[in-house]
Amino acid sequence: MEGGDKEVEMDGNEMESVRERLKEKKRIVVKIGSSSLTHRETGDMDYIRMEKLVRELSDIRNQGKEVILVTSGAIAAGKNAVNLRDIRVDSQTESLAVKQACAAVGQARLMMTYQKLFAEYNQVAAQILMTKNTIVDNLNRYNAHNTFSELLKMGAIPVVNENDTVATYEIGIGDNDTLSAIVAALVEADLLILLSDIDGLYTDDPRTNPDARFIEQVDRLTEEFMEMGKASTGSSIGTGGMNTKLTAAKIATSSNVDMVIANSRDIGVLHRILAAEKEGTLFVAHQDENFDLPYFVGSLHM
Ligand code: GLU
């Protein structure tokens, strides 16, 4: 642990006991981003990485835990399928319709791959596509909650993405870091794991500042921490930077969900996190009675 005592309020033993409780987690949401699912050189799907992810999740499921996967990659997969890979979907010149069309192609491909891989490990995968309205609208939220509950009862693995094909700026959540925390809050998960192309939270961007220190545990998500997220991961694929990860941490911890950010370089990190090994940055849950999920989601991008 390199973080100074300014960042953490707990002593070493207390921190270890917080890590230990990760062994007991029963309902786990795992988020993986586009940059972790595609090859940097070509933008094509990284099937080996996907397969490892599915195998890990299937094994966690086989341990009797409930698993929900929040996955990006629809737009990336769609762009490649229709040979638009060199066009950045987040550039201003590209129309929303192109992005949405790519998502329509790509989401089907993405799900086809997950179905196939999960079936190989004898798991049932179920697709759930959401927008902001799924949470803001009371009836939609109630229905979505019930659907998740039934799927988990059936032993299925919900595979969630934003419904990019219909979600415009106004009704879009915008990034899957935030989406995964919203899902974790909605289903009353006890752990959210964000798999990313970074090791966790640093005091500054480690690629530009050699003095940036790694933070192993965040006990309280103060304004000081929220400020650290202003720099992005710099990834050109996907939409999540550190800022969105800290928004996710806010939603998760306020909703009583512990959250870990870890590097997806080695997917085996999932097992190590659940074995309470010191991987990534752990954000400790502190339920905030004043946190109102529908209100928070409704005010995104306003
Ligand atoms: N929903 C988008 C996709 O599947 C990705 C959003 C994100 O990466 O945060 O392509």
Is the pLDDT at 302 greater than 90, yes or no?
Answer: no
Using 50, 70 and 90 to split pLDDT, how confident is the model at 4? very low
Using 50, 70 and 90 to split pLDDT, how confident is the model at 292? very high
**Crossing angle between the packed helical segments 138-154 and 176-186, to the nearest 10 degrees:** 80
- Give 238 Cα–ligand 1 centroid separation in angstroms: 5
Res 242: pLDDT: 84
Res 112: pLDDT: 97
Give the N- to C-terminal CA distance of the chain in Å, as an integer.
Answer: 38
Res 9: pLDDT: 62
Ligand 1: which residue has its CA nearest to atom 2? 72
Most ligand 1 atoms within 8 A of CB, residue of 50, 72, 159, 178 to mutate: 72
Using 50, 70 and 90 to split pLDDT, how confident is the model at 6? very low
Q: What is the gyration radius of the CA atoms in the chain, in angstroms?
A: 18
Res 235: pLDDT: 47
Span 43-47, average pLDDT: 90
Per-residue model confidence as pLDDT tens digits over 53-99 = 999 999 999 999 999 999 999 998 998 888 877 666 555 556 788 88
Is the pLDDT at 1 greater than 80, yes or no?
Answer: no
Span 264-292, average pLDDT: 96
Res 238: pLDDT: 47
Using 50, 70 and 90 to split pLDDT, how confident is the model at 171? confident
Q: Which helix (H) or strand (E) holds 242?
A: helix 242-254
Token readout for 280 is 């990534």
- Give 164 Cα–ligand 1 centroid separation in angstroms: 8
pTM of the model: 0.91
> How far is 49 from 38, CA to CA, in rounded Å?
8
Span 173-193, average pLDDT: 96
Most ligand 1 atoms within 8 A of CB, residue of 34, 236, 247, 301 to mutate: 34
Res 97: pLDDT: 86
Is the pLDDT at 213 greater than 50, yes or no?
Answer: yes
- Give 174 Cα–ligand 1 centroid separation in angstroms: 8
**Do the Cβ atoms of 172 and 240 come closer than 8 Å?**
no
**45 - beta bridge partners?**
38
DSSP code, position 45: B
Span 124-144, average pLDDT: 97
Is the pLDDT at 287 greater than 90, yes or no?
Answer: yes
Res 251: pLDDT: 97
Q: Which helix (H) or strand (E) holds 232?
A: none
**Do the Cβ atoms of 174 and 239 come closer than 8 Å?**
yes
Res 3: pLDDT: 41
Is the pLDDT at 111 greater than 80, yes or no?
Answer: yes
Q: Which atom of ligand 1 is nearest to the CA of 164?
A: 1
The percentage of residues in the chain with a pLDDT greater than 90, rounded to a whole number, is 68
Is the pLDDT at 267 greater than 70, yes or no?
Answer: yes
Using 50, 70 and 90 to split pLDDT, how confident is the model at 226? confident
Average pLDDT, the chain: 89
> How far is 129 from 164, CA to CA, in rounded Å?
8
Q: Which atom of ligand 1 is nearest to the CA of 244?
A: 9
Q: Which residues line ligand 1 (CB under 6 A)?
A: 33-34, 72-76, 161-162, 164, 175-176, 238-240
> How far is 293 from 267, CA to CA, in rounded Å?
30
Span 266-272, average pLDDT: 97
